[in-house]
Each structure stands twice: as structure tokens, then as C-alpha cells.
Amino acid sequence: MEVNLRELHGNWDKGFALHKQVLKSVCIGHYDNGRPKFDTERSEPGEALFRLKYRGDYNQAEPLAQAMREHIVPALSDFAMVIPMPATTPRPRQPVDEIAEKLAVKLGLFYANGLLTKMPPPPGTPAIKDLATKAEKAAALAHSFVLNPAIITNDGKWGALLVDDLYDSGATLEAACAILRGYAKISQIFVATCSW
């Protein structure tokens, strides 16, 4: 998989995205309902993520996890667990969970599914992706993540890799990392996303 790593900056120790999601998008007309129709060219990670999330092609999780292993993990210090970013949209199978679990297996590390959960937003609240500024997103995300300390049963302090699908403003990753920073069993926090 061809990547073009971008370093991500935030309240984590180090993080990277594999590639830009969309390389080019051109309006080519409109659907019958009046919505615009686009001819979209995505990066390889962007296309794999699109197929995984919106076409239910779970075979795409494997190459995305492999690309993270080959291109992001070597740029990070040691860590002991892989944490999936909790999903915003309910699905029978969560794309980020699929990627994170495959990555944890490839690395032979603890898959900390359920360590972080996300509370549903109050009814009528706009989706995070529909908010205009990072400040609006951060305010909407305040207190939305919950830590489940029962997931890690042994004593110690470990580095963690937080896996997400898409980096936009960084507000969601920062809210999740703020919760992880307050947990005594987490030392360094690293971030890996499929795209930006």
C-alpha cells in the first residue's frame, strides 16, 4: 500500500496518518434528488478506508493494519497495547475495531477494546463532523469519553497506541487522549490513523 505519512501533533506523544483521504474530487453533475455527484480519487489508504466504512468490505482492515505496522509503528517508541477509538456511528462491526484488532494481533500486543467508550450525544446535538471549528468540536466532546479501568487487570504503566480512521481537526483524538492521560496505567500515548 502506497503511503505518504503525515506527522500528527496534539496532546499525545507522537502520531502519524498513513495518507491524505481524498486526492482529488470533481463535481460531475447531480443526482435525481439534486445532490451533487463527484468523481473522487482517493489515496490507497483512503480508498481502503472508504470501502471498509461505507461498502462493508472488511477485507480492507488487513491491508490498513499492515500499512500501520510497516510505516507507523517503526517511527514510535515501545508500547504494550492497541486501543481502538470508540465509534461515533453504531454499526454491527466497527471498522476501527477491525483495524486495531488486526494490528494488535500482528504486533503480538494486548488489544484494549472497551478501555475507552464514547457516550452518545444528547438528542438533537449536531454530529461532530458537522461542527465548524475545533473549539466547537472540543466543547461537544467534553465529558463524552469514559474509561473502563477493569480492562487492564495487572499493575504497571504502559505505552498505548490509539488507532482511529480519520484525522481532521484532532479534537476527538485530543479528548480521548486527555482521558487516557489521567489513567495511572498509561504512560506514553501514540496515535495512528488511516488518513487525514
Number of DSSP helices (H) and strands (E) in the chain, helices first: 5, 10
Q: Which residue has the cell 475495531?
A: 97
pLDDT of residue 91: 87
* Inter-residue contact 113 to 157 (CB < 8 Å): no
Q: Which residue has the cell 434528488?
A: 33
Asked whether residue 89 carries a pLDDT value surpassing 90, the answer given is: no
- Taken in order of first residue, the domains within the chain and their CATH numbers are 6-19+64-195 (3.40.50)
Give the dihedral sign, CA 60/99/1/193. Answer: positive
What percentage of the chain reaches a pLDDT higher than 90? 89
- Residue-wise pLDDT for 147-166, tens only, equals 999 999 999 999 999 999 99
User: By three-state DSSP, how is residue 151 classified?
Assistant: helix
Among 39-48, 95-104, 116-125, the range scoring the smallest mean pLDDT is: 116-125
pTM to 2 decimal places: 0.93
Q: What is the largest CA-CA distance in the chain?
A: 59
Asked whether residue 143 carries a pLDDT value surpassing 90, the answer given is: no
**pLDDT confidence tier of residue 120, bands split at 50, 70 and 90:** confident
pLDDT of residue 104: 99
Query: Apex CA 105: angle with CA 47 and CA 72, to 5°?
Result: 50
Asked whether residue 81 carries a pLDDT value surpassing 90, the answer given is: yes
pLDDT of residue 124: 84
